[in-house]
A and B are shown apart, each in its own frame.
Chain A
Amino acid sequence: MTSHTVCFVETGETLACTDDRSLLASMERLGRKGIPVGCRNGGCGVCKVRVIAGTCERRVMSRAHVSHDEERDGYALACRITPSSDLAVQVVGKMIRAFPERTGANAEKTGE
């Protein structure tokens, strides 16, 4: 089992990721935050990232969330990639705000 360092480019934070689980699973296992966690299985798209540098293994993920073009540009779902080198990533996924038409104080409490 090899460990690689994943650097989140916006915050400069780093995460030690082993090559036996997905980037998202490594983050969750360490109790860390940064990438939104949804289905953990490549279907919902909330964990979307862009790999700026480095290489990773990719497993099948929903095309509804990562198109072929995006894939070429390094986009991926963090629950479906496993780092095979150190990585630099940008977090692009968002927890979809439930009931977006809502306004006011409660919207803040229950958003992301």
Chain B
Amino acid sequence: MAMTGVLRPGHACIRVLDMKEATHFYGEVLGLIETGRDSFGRVYYRAWDEIEHNSIILREADSAGMDFMGFKVDSEASLDRLEADVRAYGIPTERIPAGDLLQTGERVRFQIPSGHQIELYAEKARLSTPQSGNNPPPWNPEAERGIAPIRFDHALLYGPDIEKVQDLFVNVLGFHTSEQIMLEDGKTQLAIFMACSSKAHDIAFVRHEEPAKLHHVSFYMESWEKVLRAADLMSMHKISIDMGPTRHGVTRGTTIYAFDPSGNRFETFAGVQSSYPDHETLTWTWDEVGTAVYYHDRQLNPAFLGVVT
């Protein structure tokens, strides 16, 4: 099936406690490219291989976490249609005017059952980068500055009612469920991984009492070797590392997790499998939950599971 409707994760707005520390981290250590600052003091970034004006937006606030996550849709017509579909499903939506986020068109925002603010947008300025246009090189010097991920890839969010979230994403927004982890009863989902593309996941949720929590935003790396390089850079810069480098059973991703200077977890990962709408949902059972999360340790890590912002 050709991709229509919702195409990919487009942006995430992350709350930071100290903008100066945050911009040093996101700009120099993670190596994202700053593309603008707005009148609210928000700072905008893209990764070196991304074509749109922004993917990560930082906002200084008195708590950490994520304000919202936005998905790119293929057209204004899809934006209108999905807005109507979400409303018809019973979830109120709001339109945020073009230009509220720099270089970004109108956004349709709604709160999903887990408490998170999700947005759809159809327009965002495309930049002319060394990777766009005719005869592009495979990389450019920005690909070696800092950790230098290829793109903002997905987010894992924590909140209640994840089966309702799944119903919305699958039956209204057109995602498919690539993988799931079950609780002890074999019926209740602990975690769901969903994709609007052929990636292993574009968004994932873990069941959690408190709504609207961020577990991590994730950045895609070219290879396992680049994940190890990211780990080296994290230690060189004394970044707080959470777990890894290791591999997930779920999605097969090779990965390392760490925290930004405000305590927001992020992931740099590589090498996940693909998923298609006609594939069956891969299921991880409770007796192998350790393996599902960390394929080598094979046991659950309380900090990895319980620490969120």
Residue of A nearest to B16 (CB): A43
Q: How far is the CA of A68 from the CA of B166 in the complex (A)?
A: 38
Stretch from A8-16, A49-57, A96-104 that touches the partner? A96-104
Which chain A residues border B63 with CB–CB below 8 Å? 43, 62-65
Q: Which of B40-81 contact A (CB under 8 A)?
A: 62-65
Quick one: given A60-B18, A99-B190, A110-B300, are A38 and B263 in contact (CB under 8 Å)? yes
**Secondary structure class of chain B's binding surface, majority of residues:** loop
Which chain B residues border A46 with CB–CB below 8 Å? 303, 306-307
Whether A41 pairs with B263 at a CB distance below 8 angstroms is yes
> Which of B184, B207, B208, B263 is A39 in contact with, Cβ under 8 Å?
B263
**Does A37 interact with chain B (Cβ within 8 Å)?**
yes
Residue of B nearest to A61 (CB): B17
Q: How far is the CA of A38 from the CA of B306 in the complex (A)?
A: 9
Quick one: given A63-B63, A99-B190, are A40 and B302 in contact (CB under 8 Å)? no
Stretch from B97-105, B254-262, B270-278 that touches the partner? B254-262
**Secondary structure class of chain A's binding surface, majority of residues:** loop
Quick one: given A46-B307, A62-B63, are A41 and B302 in contact (CB under 8 Å)? no
A99–chain B nearest beta-carbon distance, Å: 6
Quick one: given A96-B307, A99-B190, are A43 and B302 in contact (CB under 8 Å)? no
Quick one: given A61-B17, A102-B183, A102-B184, are A39 and B309 in contact (CB under 8 Å)? yes
Q: How far is the CA of A102 from the CA of B262 in the complex (A)?
A: 30
> Which of A38, A63, A104 is B184 in contact with, Cβ under 8 Å?
A104
Which chain A residues border B308 with CB–CB below 8 Å? 44, 96
Number of interface residues of A (CB under 8 A): 30
> Which of A40, A62, A100, A102 is B64 in contact with, Cβ under 8 Å?
A62
Q: How far is the CA of A100 from the CA of B241 in the complex (A)?
A: 25
Q: How far is the CA of A63 from the CA of B183 in the complex (A)?
A: 33
Whether A62 pairs with B263 at a CB distance below 8 angstroms is yes
A60–chain B nearest beta-carbon distance, Å: 5
B241–chain A nearest beta-carbon distance, Å: 9
Q: How far is the CA of A106 from the CA of B63 in the complex (A)?
A: 33
Whether B302 pairs with A95 at a CB distance below 8 angstroms is yes
Q: How far is the CA of A44 from the CA of B265 in the complex (A)?
A: 10
**Does B209 interact with chain A (Cβ within 8 Å)?**
yes
Whether B263 pairs with A112 at a CB distance below 8 angstroms is no
Which chain B residues border A60 with CB–CB below 8 Å? 17-18
Quick one: given A37-B303, A96-B306, are A106 and B263 in contact (CB under 8 Å)? no
**Does B224 interact with chain A (Cβ within 8 Å)?**
no
Which chain B residues border A61 with CB–CB below 8 Å? 17
Report B233-253 CB contacts with A as 1/0, cut-off 8 Å. 000000010100000000000
A46–chain B nearest beta-carbon distance, Å: 6
Report B281-308 CB contacts with A as 1/0, cut-off 8 Å. 0000010000000000000101101111
**Does A34 interact with chain B (Cβ within 8 Å)?**
no
Whether B309 pairs with A112 at a CB distance below 8 angstroms is no
Whether B62 pairs with A62 at a CB distance below 8 angstroms is yes
**Does B264 interact with chain A (Cβ within 8 Å)?**
yes
**Does A83 interact with chain B (Cβ within 8 Å)?**
no
> Which of B240, B242, B286, B306 is A106 in contact with, Cβ under 8 Å?
B286
Whether B303 pairs with A42 at a CB distance below 8 angstroms is no
Q: Which of B187-241 contact A (CB under 8 A)?
A: 190, 207-209, 240
Q: Which of A39, A63, A111, A112 has the most CB of B within 10 A?
A: A39
Q: How far is the CA of A39 from the CA of B260 in the complex (A)?
A: 8
Whether A98 pairs with B300 at a CB distance below 8 angstroms is yes
> Which of A37, A41, A63 is B262 in contact with, Cβ under 8 Å?
A41
Which 9 A-B residue pairings sit nearest by Cβ, starting from the closest?
A43-B263, A39-B263, A43-B64, A98-B305, A64-B63, A38-B307, A41-B263, A63-B62, A96-B306
A-side residues, CB < 8 A to B, are 36-44, 46, 60-65, 95-102, 104, 106, 109-112
Q: List 10 other contacts, CB 8 Å, given A39-B263, A101-B209.
A: A36-B303, A37-B303, A41-B260, A42-B17, A44-B308, A46-B303, A64-B63, A65-B63, A106-B184, A110-B305
